[in-house]
């Protein structure tokens, strides 16, 4: 049964352990309610129950209440033990990541979260596969923070510069929000969380990730050219598409939109990838997006090496 | 032995004329007069704190309430109620009025130190007043670093007030311990004290341990702001963790001291008249000591493990769970005897007991494995302190109701007291209940998020009811005092 549903209004159970955490919370809630009723009843009896006629009678008549208290104490003790043992079992499950869980690193930069995936791709949103355990490795930061996704019943606190770990297996595709509960006077950081449909995560990761970085530079550049979407606008044989072609790229001068001419150099290529609006070739629209922060430095060098190899 | 059979303390025996300035209440060394002075200062602070609480209850209903949660209003409410009401109410008022009679003494052991404790406390109150007028602090009553180092709201007056209040509490605590030690010396081996005396003694030990920590923490923060002591190392994670560790080393034993004293007082008041003041059972004494030890060990876990580290969290949770056992034993002791009359004092004591138990139960939700980790940092985290604080204040008011006939010269009215008791429980449940529900849904503590739905309305009505109930009970005491004066004049 969903404790949050009962008490807090339909908070979905979107992770594999959400239901057991809710059950543990519900059990604790029932225990608290049981104790509260017990104490309220005891207090009512203490005020309105039978009174001793005299001091001597008061001492003699204490046996009845004592028996009741012992019985109630025994029942409460057994209930308490069940709550603690159940909670400990769930806690052990929540703390221990399954083997083979996909590692995703979580960092904080300038008050915002950054997620680094196994491919090396960095993103401001947390993307999760469906029904596959993910190990979140939270980096330490200059300022303590916590990372929480209520729908997953996930909350981790990071203190000092010591990394922390958590794991989660998302069960319900959709969009959620991760948030950081921080000290007063500081902003509350949030990040988008996307749980993909079955197989969607792998497709997304392939789409946003580049090739393996340990390839030889020319091969790395060629794979980047193919995987990063360059093919849509730049042909290798000099054919004019949305952007200029790459045939004999370094062999000629470029005329820019402002009328100036320049030699194609490594620096020019680098600038065109990272800051494409700085120098726009004459006759083309300034529509190329920046790849700053989306390409690894080795990929940029690989692209330069690949373009040189076309000469 | 019952209260009436204890020594009949005359004004002369109490040291009422022991000092030339005895006629002036500020310089009085008479413990009963000091009890009234503590009651007056705590009562005024209670009114101020409740007005601020009402503002906080109503503020979320406004369209733009973003500044409230981390602002001066929140901080001043916490400071007034924690430092000027919850911590000193029972040791200051009930300790002074009742402890000598409980241990068969004529007066407190060190009357001048007792008076000095109140005078220093009064200086602290003046500093808080100056702070509220000149420069209200806005970093919360726990002065979270690094915000409290960098904020433009200068907390110097508040820190000075905290240091004075801590020193006053240390004086009072030392006096309670000296009074108990003197009674032990008089008893010559046959020492048997009631639960309330044991509770006040355990609370005094915790207060004495906590006070120097608060002084050190305040001095550290003051030095950091004034000149950059580099001990905390502003705006770093280490600063935050170190300060939180140090503050927890004060706050945990200090709040536990207030709860211990309240538990003892509720036990004392719920007993039938003929059994009030009878010697405590070994079980109750062991439970009180175990609870005090758990409080000290809990702050030790913070200090050793580092605030918020996984190790300290586990140790802290285990200790808190372990502390639940002696707490339950003490509560069970309330019911293992026949009922007493349902007068105003007992009804208020029952309400106080219920609130203390609700506080413990919500604290349990926070430390239980699995669920606890999820709820830490949500709005539920604020609930145990509020339930416990309200319970402590209610217990102190119940004690004043019980003492009224002898202490104030006239009995407090039963109907008003009983109505206040019922409203206290209902108001507290409505005021703090929505925070439990919101916390279960993951609502973060101290977040400037707009509140929607019925919850803020329920909380606001609950806050109003709670404030009304506390003020009604306080007025009942004041009315008894006024009637006593009229009778005395007649």
Each residue of B427-474: pLDDT tens digit? 999 999 888 888 877 777 665 555 567 777 888 899 899 999 999 999
- Check whether A62 has a pLDDT greater than 70: no
Window A:128-167, CB contacts with B under 8 Å: 140-144, 146, 148, 150, 153-155, 157, 159-162, 164
Last residue of a domain, one of A45, A68, A95: A95
For residue B6, what pLDDT is reported?
A: 40
CA distance A149 to A138: 14
For residue A109, what pLDDT is reported?
A: 75
Residue A55's pLDDT band (cuts 50, 70, 90): low
CA distance A39 to B67: 39
Whose CA is closest to B218, among B51, B83, B332?
Answer: B83
Per-residue tokens: B489:
């004049």
For residue A162, what pLDDT is reported?
A: 67
- Check whether A144 has a pLDDT greater than 60: yes
User: What is the per-residue pLDDT across B212-271, written as a single tens digit (0 to 9) for each?
Assistant: 888 888 888 887 777 665 666 544 555 566 677 777 777 878 888 999 999 999 999 988
pTM of the model: 0.79
User: What is the per-residue pLDDT across A148-164, written as a single tens digit (0 to 9) for each?
Assistant: 888 898 888 776 666 78
Mutation target among B374, B391, B439 for the A interface, most CBs of A within 10 A? B374
In the sheet that holds A102-109, the strands lie side by side as A122-123, A112-116, A102-109, A134-138, A164-168
CATH code assigned at B188: 1.20.210.10
Per-residue tokens: A166:
């958590």
CA distance A15 to A126: 15
Asked if residue B201 belongs to a domain, the reply is yes
Whose CA is closest to B169, among B209, B247, B117, B239?
Answer: B117
Buried b (16+ CB within 10 A) or exposed e, A82-100: ebbebbeebbeebeebeee
Look at chain A and count its residues.
311
For residue B59, what pLDDT is reported?
A: 66
The label of the residue with tokens 């069960």 reads: A171
Query: Which residues in chain A are contacts of B373 at CB distance < 8 A?
Result: 91, 94, 155
CA distance B420 to B345: 11
The label of the residue with tokens 């029932």 reads: A30
Mean pLDDT value across residues A96-107: 90
Query: Which residues in chain B are contacts of A48 at CB distance < 8 A?
Result: 339, 342
Minimal Cβ distance to B440: which of A3, A45, A62: A3
- Check whether B3 has a pLDDT greater than 60: no
Same domain, A133 and A78: no
Query: Which residues in chain B are contacts of A58 at CB distance < 8 A?
Result: 272, 274-275, 337-338
ipTM: 0.80
For residue B271, what pLDDT is reported?
A: 87
Mean pLDDT value across residues B175-194: 82
Cα-based torsion angle of the residue sequence B35, B38, B43, B44 in order, rounded to the nearest 10 degrees: 140
For residue A181, what pLDDT is reported?
A: 62
Same domain, B344 and B223: no
Asked if residue B322 belongs to a domain, the reply is no
Window A:59-88, CB contacts with B under 8 Å: 59, 61-62, 65-66, 68-69, 72-73, 76, 80, 83-84, 87-88
Query: Which residues in chain A are contacts of B272 at CB distance < 8 A?
Result: 51-52, 58
Last residue of a domain, one of B231, B250, B277: B277
User: What is the per-residue pLDDT across A81-96, written as a single tens digit (0 to 9) for each?
Assistant: 999 999 999 988 888 8
Minimal Cβ distance to B332: which of A48, A69, A144: A69
User: What are the DSSP E strand ranges found in B17-124?
Assistant: none
CATH code assigned at A137: 2.60.40.420
Q: Which domain holds residue B461?
A: 340-485
Same domain, B271 and B399: no
CA distance A155 to A160: 17
Helices (H), B82-194: 87-88, 96-102, 111-134, 147-150, 156-187
For residue A50, what pLDDT is reported?
A: 67
Asked if residue B299 belongs to a domain, the reply is no
User: What is the per-residue pLDDT across A211-229, written as a single tens digit (0 to 9) for each?
Assistant: 878 889 999 998 888 888 7
Looking at CA atoms only, how far is residue A179 from chain B in angstroms? 9
Query: Beta-carbon neighbour count of residue B440 at 10 Å?
Result: 28
Query: Which residues in chain A are contacts of B341 at CB distance < 8 A?
Result: 51
Cα-based torsion angle of the residue sequence B196, B198, B202, B208 in order, rounded to the nearest 10 degrees: 90
User: Looking at per-residue confidence, does B62 or B337 come out higher?
Assistant: B337
User: Cβ of A185 and B144 within 8 Å?
Assistant: yes
- Check whether A6 has a pLDDT greater than 50: no
CB of A40 within 8 Å of a chain B CB? The answer is yes
Last residue of a domain, one of B228, B249, B277: B277
Buried b (16+ CB within 10 A) or exposed e, A128-165: bbbebbbbbbbbbbebbbbbbbbbbbbbbbbbbeeebb
Residue A310's pLDDT band (cuts 50, 70, 90): confident
Mean pLDDT value across residues B27-37: 86
User: Is A75 strand, coil or helix?
Assistant: helix
- Check whether B353 has a pLDDT greater than 90: yes
Looking at CA atoms only, how far is residue B64 from chain A in angstroms? 17
CA distance B336 to B281: 12
Cα-based torsion angle of the residue sequence B246, B249, B255, B261 in order, rounded to the nearest 10 degrees: -150
What is the total count of domains within chain B? 2
CA distance B306 to B382: 21
Query: Which residues in chain B are contacts of A146 at CB distance < 8 A?
Result: 377
Whose CA is closest to B310, among A248, A146, A293?
Answer: A146
Report the run of H or E that residue B437 belongs to, with start and end. helix B414-440
- Of A200-214, A292-306, B304-318, the range with the lowest mean pLDDT is B304-318
CATH code assigned at A232: 1.10.760.10
Residue B309's pLDDT band (cuts 50, 70, 90): low
Contact A43, B266 (CB under 8 A): no
For residue B398, what pLDDT is reported?
A: 95
Same domain, B121 and B258: yes
Asked if residue B285 belongs to a domain, the reply is no
CB of A43 within 8 Å of a chain B CB? The answer is yes
CA distance B90 to B347: 18
Mean pLDDT value across residues B384-400: 94
- Check whether B26 has a pLDDT greater than 80: no
Same domain, A133 and A153: yes
For residue A67, what pLDDT is reported?
A: 83
Helical packing angle, B237-270 and B383-407, nearest 10°: 40
Query: Which residues in chain B are contacts of A153 at CB distance < 8 A?
Result: 374
Last residue of a domain, one of A208, A238, A261: A208
For residue A53, what pLDDT is reported?
A: 60
CA distance B77 to B70: 12
Last residue of a domain, one of A208, A239, A264: A208
For residue A161, what pLDDT is reported?
A: 60
Same domain, B228 and B377: no
For residue B46, what pLDDT is reported?
A: 92
Same domain, A51 and A113: no
The label of the residue with tokens 């500020």 reads: B26
For a pLDDT cut of 70, what percent of chain B falls above it? 83
Asked if residue B108 belongs to a domain, the reply is yes
Report the run of H or E that residue A309 belongs to, with start and end. helix A297-309
Last residue of a domain, one of B224, B247, B277: B277
Query: Beta-carbon neighbour count of residue A241 at 10 Å?
Result: 12
Query: Beta-carbon neighbour count of residue B276 at 10 Å?
Result: 20
Looking at CA atoms only, how far is residue A201 from chain B in angstroms? 27
Same domain, A8 and A106: no
What is the total count of domains within chain A? 3
Burial level of B46, CB count in 10 A (0-12/13-18/19+)? buried
Same domain, B262 and B130: yes
- Of A242-256, B103-117, B229-243, B289-303, the range with the lowest mean pLDDT is B229-243
User: What is the per-residue pLDDT across A251-298, written as a single tens digit (0 to 9) for each?
Assistant: 778 888 888 888 888 889 899 998 898 888 888 888 888 888 778 888
User: Cβ of B368 and A83 within 8 Å?
Assistant: yes
Same domain, B345 and B270: no
For residue B121, what pLDDT is reported?
A: 93
Looking at CA atoms only, how far is residue B259 from chain A in angstroms? 17
Average pLDDT across chain B, whole number: 81
Q: Which domain holds residue A199?
A: 102-208
Highest mean pLDDT among B54-58, B269-273, B329-333, B392-396: B392-396
- Check whether A143 has a pLDDT greater than 70: no
For residue A52, what pLDDT is reported?
A: 61
Same domain, A196 and A229: no
CA distance B140 to B275: 43
For residue B298, what pLDDT is reported?
A: 72
Same domain, A76 and A9: yes
Residue A61's pLDDT band (cuts 50, 70, 90): low
Looking at CA atoms only, how far is residue B175 from chain A in angstroms? 33
Asked if residue B366 belongs to a domain, the reply is yes
CA distance B332 to B320: 18
User: Cβ of B310 and A20 within 8 Å?
Assistant: no
Radius of gyration in angstroms for the set of CA atoms belonging to chain A, rounded to a whole number: 31
Same domain, B270 and B357: no
Same domain, B237 and B380: no
| String of DSSP letters for B214-265 | HHHHHHHHHHHHHH--SSS-TTSHHHHHHHHHHHHHHHHHHHHHHHHHHHHH
User: Is A8 strand, coil or helix?
Assistant: helix
Same domain, A110 and A138: yes
CA distance A59 to B49: 43
Same domain, A90 and A113: no
Per-residue tokens: B330:
């003490």
Cα-based torsion angle of the residue sequence B472, B477, B483, B484 in order, rounded to the nearest 10 degrees: 180
Looking at CA atoms only, how far is residue B214 from chain A in angstroms? 21
Same domain, A114 and A182: yes
Asked if residue B14 belongs to a domain, the reply is no
Looking at CA atoms only, how far is residue B95 from chain A in angstroms? 24
Same domain, A197 and A224: no
For residue B301, what pLDDT is reported?
A: 66
Same domain, A124 and A203: yes
Same domain, B348 and B263: no
Whose CA is closest to B442, among A32, A24, A30, A178?
Answer: A178
Query: Which residues in chain B are contacts of A164 at CB distance < 8 A?
Result: 310
Same domain, A183 and A128: yes
- Check whether B52 has a pLDDT greater than 90: no
- Check whether A309 has a pLDDT greater than 90: no
For residue A209, what pLDDT is reported?
A: 76
Q: How far is CA A186 from the centre of its chain?
A: 20
- Check whether A9 has a pLDDT greater than 70: no
Same domain, B372 and B474: yes
CA distance A188 to B162: 30
User: Looking at per-residue confidence, does B25 or B288 come out higher?
Assistant: B288
Residue B416's pLDDT band (cuts 50, 70, 90): very high
CA distance A181 to A184: 9
- Of A183-192, B23-32, B48-57, B113-122, the range with the lowest mean pLDDT is A183-192
B347 → chain A, closest CA residue: A47
Contact A271, A249 (CB under 8 A): no
Torsion A210-A215-A217-A220 (CA) sign: negative
CA distance A16 to A172: 10
Same domain, B269 and B344: no
Asked if residue B399 belongs to a domain, the reply is yes
For residue B426, what pLDDT is reported?
A: 95
């Amino acid at each position: 049964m969903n404790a949050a549903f009962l008490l807090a209004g339909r908070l979905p159970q979107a992770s594999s352990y959400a239901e057991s955490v809710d059950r543990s919370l519900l059990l604790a809630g029932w225990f608290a309610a049981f104790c509260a009723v017990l104490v309220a009843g005891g207090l009512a009896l203490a005020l309105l129950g039978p009174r001793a006629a005299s001091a001597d009678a008061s001492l003699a008549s204490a046996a009845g209440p004592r028996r009741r208290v012992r019985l109630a104490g025994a029942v409460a003790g057994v209930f308490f033990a069940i709550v603690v043992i159940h909670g400990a079992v769930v806690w052990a499950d929540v703390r221990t990541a399954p083997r083979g869980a996909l590692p995703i690193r979580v960092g904080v930069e300038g008050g915002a979260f950054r997620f680094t995936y196994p491919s090396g791709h960095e993103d401001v949103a947390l993307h999760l596969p469906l029904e596959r355990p993910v190990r979140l490795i939270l980096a330490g930061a200059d300022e303590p923070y916590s990372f929480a996704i209520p729908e997953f019943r996930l909350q981790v606190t990071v203190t000092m510069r010591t990394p922390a770990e958590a794991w989660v297996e998302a069960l319900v595709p959709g969009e959620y929000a991760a948030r950081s509960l921080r000290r007063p006077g500081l902003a509350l950081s949030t990040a988008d969380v996307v749980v993909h449909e079955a197989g969607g995560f792998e497709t997304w990761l392939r789409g946003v990730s580049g090739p393996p970085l340990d390839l030889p530079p020319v091969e790395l550049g060629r794979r980047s050219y193919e995987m990063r979407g360059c093919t849509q606008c730049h042909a290798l044989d000099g054919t004019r598409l949305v952007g200029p072609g790459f045939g004999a790229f370094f062999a000629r001068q470029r005329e820019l939109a402002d009328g100036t001419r320049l030699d194609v150099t490594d620096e020019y290529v680098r600038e065109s990838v990272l800051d494409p609006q700085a120098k726009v070739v004459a006759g083309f629209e300034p529509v190329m997006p920046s790849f700053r922060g989306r390409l690894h430095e080795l990929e940029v060098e690989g692209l330069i090496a690949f373009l040189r190899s076309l000469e | 032995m019952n209260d009436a059979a204890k020594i009949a303390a005359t004004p002369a025996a109490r040291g009422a004329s022991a000092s030339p300035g005895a006629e002036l209440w500020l310089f009085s060394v008479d413990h009963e007069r000091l009890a009234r002075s503590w009651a007056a200062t705590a009562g005024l602070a209670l009114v101020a704190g409740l007005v601020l609480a009402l503002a906080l209850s109503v503020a979320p209903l406004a369209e733009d309430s973003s500044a409230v949660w981390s602002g001066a209003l929140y901080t001043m409410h916490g400071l007034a109620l924690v430092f000027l009401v919850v911590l000193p109410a029972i040791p200051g008022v009930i300790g002074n009025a009742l402890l000598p009679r409980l241990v068969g003494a004529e007066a407190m052991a060190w009357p001048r130190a007792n008076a000095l404790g109140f005078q220093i406390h009064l200086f602290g109150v003046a500093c808080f007043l100056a702070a509220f007028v000149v420069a209200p602090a806005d970093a919360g009553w726990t002065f979270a670093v690094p915000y409290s180092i960098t904020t433009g709201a200068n907390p110097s007056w508040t820190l000075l007030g905290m240091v004075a209040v801590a020193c006053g509490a240390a004086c009072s605590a030392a006096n309670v311990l000296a009074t108990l030690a003197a009674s032990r010396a008089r008893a010559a081996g046959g020492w048997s004290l009631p639960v309330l005396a044991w509770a006040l003694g355990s609370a005094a030990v915790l207060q004495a341990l906590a006070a120097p920590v608060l002084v050190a923490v305040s001095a550290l923060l003051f030095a950091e702001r004034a000149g950059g002591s580099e001990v905390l190392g502003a705006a770093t994670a280490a600063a935050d963790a170190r300060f939180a560790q140090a503050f927890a080393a004060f706050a945990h034993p200090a709040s536990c001291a207030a709860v211990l004293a309240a538990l003892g007082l509720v036990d004392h008041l719920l007993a039938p008249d003929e059994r009030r003041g009878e010697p405590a059972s070994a079980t109750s004494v062991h439970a009180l000591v175990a609870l005090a030890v758990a409080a000290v060990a809990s702050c030790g876990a913070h200090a050793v493990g580092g605030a918020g580290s996984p190790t300290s969290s586990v140790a802290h949770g285990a200790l808190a769970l372990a502390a639940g056992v002696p707490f339950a034993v003490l509560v069970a002791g309330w019911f293992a005897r026949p009922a007493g009359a349902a007068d105003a004092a007992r009804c208020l004591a029952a309400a106080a007991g219920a609130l203390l138990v609700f506080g413990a139960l919500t604290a349990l939700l926070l430390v239980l494995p699995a669920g606890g980790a999820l709820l830490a940092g949500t709005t539920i985290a604020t609930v145990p302190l509020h339930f416990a604080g309200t319970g402590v204040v209610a217990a102190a008011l119940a004690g004043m109701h019980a003492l009224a006939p002898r202490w104030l010269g006239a009995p407090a009215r039963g109907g008003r007291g009983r109505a206040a008791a019922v409203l206290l429980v209902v108001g507290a449940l409505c005021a703090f209940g929505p925070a439990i529900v919101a916390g279960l849904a993951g609502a973060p503590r101290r977040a400037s998020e707009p509140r929607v739905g019925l919850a803020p309305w329920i909380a606001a009505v609950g806050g109003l009811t709670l404030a009304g109930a506390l003020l009604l009970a306080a007025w009942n005491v004041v009315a008894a005092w006024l009637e006593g004066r009229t009778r005395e004049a007649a």
